[in-house]
Amino acid sequence: MALIKCYECSREISDKAPACPHCGAPKEEQPPEHGTATVTVNEVWASISAGHSHTVGLTTSGDAYAWGYNNRGQLGDGTTTDRSTPVLVSGGHTWASISAGHSHTVGLTTSGDAYAWGRNFLGQLGDGTTTNRSTPVLVSGGHTWASIAAGYFCTVGITTSGDAYAWGSNGYGQLGDGTTTNRSTPTLVSGGHTWASMAGGQYHTVGVTTSGDAYAWGRNFLGQLGDGTTTDRTTPGLVSGSHTWASISAGSLNTTGITTSGDAYAWGFNGYGQLGNGTTTDRTTTVAPVLVSGSHTWASISTSSHSHTVGITTSGDAYAWGFNGDGGQLGDGTTTNRSTPVLVSGGHTWASISAGHSHTVGLTTNGDAYAWGCNEYGQLGDGTTTNRSTPVLIGQMWASISTSQSHTVGLTTSGDADCDAPKEEQPPQVSELLKVAEQGNVDAQYNLGRMYANDEGVPEDMVLAYMWWNLAAAQGSENAQDNKDIIEQGMTREQIAEAQRLSREWLEAHPPGGN
């Protein structure tokens, strides 16, 4: 069985289903582009990017998914419906990279074409209009792009020849073309530099040239350009300090960069400790950027569009610092602000990390994606809207689910009846969730179902997945009900009966409101 997307309601359904269980649309009326758009089994994440209140991810097969807030179509699925689990981006493209902005998203295909979707009131989609788009639209200009990145309300890109272009909001000169005129198509960044990388912040833009020089332009009232002044710039100005830079990241009102020796420096607004130097003093008039504390050797760094910063060391550890009061976006299990880097919880080895407005996402070296922080619109992708102060595995309900096995065992509070493993010897995440599920917690029940459905730390077991989602659905979880309906289409009557029996036995042992 595989999952396809219903043409009528855009929700995932089994390719075996005669009609959509959600809206009733018959399968035979699904247009070819929907009826054939099945999702590959067990896809692995290649990259992930956090926007203001939405998240986007790219799989190793080149498919793009998005989840979270979708009021302007920034998820690219043809709707403006929020999603708390990943949904496939429309268009059938094979993507090389993807980047989330405030309320728009941009992506680069393997052929070097750039597409954009979402909010476009300032021309940030680059299609020559100011019309919002809920599916990807080609960026104008006929360029072959090497990289592209979404800023707050602007977009920046580098062509294969090393030229930089920018489009969208330009009220403070952040497009770098010497004006403050908004642009709805790509405009060349001034200076004649050959660029290696570029990033857009809230009202400023930064870039690194192929020679390792860092430049910044746009708004500078808090020193976020790092040139030792608070003067706005409409063309690139050299960042102070004589460092040779490997990468640079622009946030809301601050900037962070990594040198070729692995040191991290930061400059600009520091009201919440987001510069990571142990103070909350703004660095607006320093001759050079300030060193981030901790003596770590950094591999990558990402600066939030709000007030926190995250980074990965060369050993694969993730650290975070700055504001932490929007739900725990630092991932250390607290909501306490930090002015120096604090280790992200979980013990994972990280490959990449991205800071959104009030949430953070990261990718481990084995291809698992995690998220933490504010989850108001489902941007953590775990099927809930519950804030998380430690990393939670992003739901993979988009992966097709096999139901070839037949199981006749159930999990009780004392262990798995099939192998007699006591509860305390279950994988740590399962054991923790079981304790909470015993208290009737619907999120724990939902996540247990997800783990068994997707082989996340436990062997895939559709009977147990159905059981947990059945319990969560009984408490009003619409996501659990939807997922239960999906996997039911590939289960035998015997398996469904067994799952229902296990649900009844669980409720008898753990009655609602019981001790």
For 100-150, write each residue's pLDDT tens digit: 999 999 999 999 999 999 999 999 999 999 999 999 999 999 999 999 999
DSSP 358: S
Choose the weakest-confidence range: 16-20, 148-152, 198-202, 278-282: 16-20
Same domain, 138 and 223: yes
| Measured distance CA(300)–CA(248) in Å, rounded | 9
Residue 515 lies in a domain: no
pLDDT at 25: 58
pLDDT at 387: 96
Same domain, 414 and 359: no
Q: Which two tokens stand for residue 467?
A: 């059981």
Residue 514 lies in a domain: no
What mean pLDDT is predicted for residues 480-495? 81
Residue 151 has pLDDT above 90, yes or no: yes
Same domain, 12 and 121: no
Residue 11 lies in a domain: yes
Same domain, 73 and 10: no
pLDDT at 20: 59
Same domain, 30 and 89: no
* Number of domains comprising the chain: 3
Choose the weakest-confidence range: 21-25, 72-76, 153-157, 253-257: 21-25
Do the Cβ atoms of 316 and 352 come closer than 8 Å?
no
Q: Which two tokens stand for residue 311?
A: 């980074």
Helix (H, G, I), strand (E, B) or coil at 32: helix
Give the residue from 327, 305, 320 showing the smallest Cα distance to 362. 320
Show the domain range for 482: 403-509
Average pLDDT, the chain: 84
Domain holding 366: CATH number?
Answer: 2.130.10.30
| Measured distance CA(97)–CA(108) in Å, rounded | 5
Residue 416 has pLDDT above 60, yes or no: no
How many C-beta neighbours within 10 Å does residue 145 have?
22
Residue 412 has pLDDT above 70, yes or no: no
pLDDT at 492: 84
pLDDT at 284: 57
Same domain, 462 and 382: no
**H-assigned helices in 171-229:** none
Same domain, 339 and 230: yes
Strand extents, DSSP E, 356-416: 359-364, 369-373, 388-393, 411-412, 415-416
pLDDT at 459: 72
Domain boundary among 393, 417, 445: 393
Do the Cβ atoms of 6 and 20 come closer than 8 Å?
yes
Same domain, 253 and 158: yes
Same domain, 370 and 415: no
What mean pLDDT is predicted for residues 427-434? 66
pLDDT confidence tier of residue 442, bands split at 50, 70 and 90: confident
Same domain, 28 and 119: no
Same domain, 308 and 440: no
pLDDT at 84: 93
DSSP 401: -
pLDDT at 17: 54
% of the chain residues with pLDDT over 70: 82
Q: Which two tokens stand for residue 69?
A: 């807030």
Domain boundary among 393, 415, 436: 393
